[in-house]
Structure 1
Amino acid sequence: MQIKDAVVFITGANRGLGLAYARAALAAGAKKVYAAARDPKSVTLDGVVPVALDVTQTAQVEAAARACGDVTLVINNAGISRGSSLLSDDSLDAARAEFDTNFFGLWAVSRAFAPVLAKNGGGAIVNVLSALSWITFPSVATYSTSKSAAWSLSNGLRNELAGQGTQVVSVHVGYMDTDMASHVPGDKTSPDDVARQTLVAVEAGEPEVLADATARQVKQGFGATPPAYAAAG
Structure 2
Amino acid sequence: MHIDSLTVSHRFQGPPRSGNGGYVCGRIADRLPGTVSVRLRAPPPLDTPLRLESGCDSAQLFDGATLIGEAHGSALTMQPPAAPSYEEVEAASHRFLGARQHPFPHCFVCGPARAAGDGLRILPGAIGDGVVGAPWLPDASLADADGVVRREFLWAALDCTSGFSVLPLPEGLSMVLGEFCVSIEGSASPGERCVVTGWPLCHEGRKRSAGSAVYGGNGRLIAQARAVWIEVPLADWR
TM-score (norm 2): 0.32
Q: Which has the higher helix share?
A: 1
Q: Which has the higher strand share?
A: 2
TM-score (norm 1): 0.32
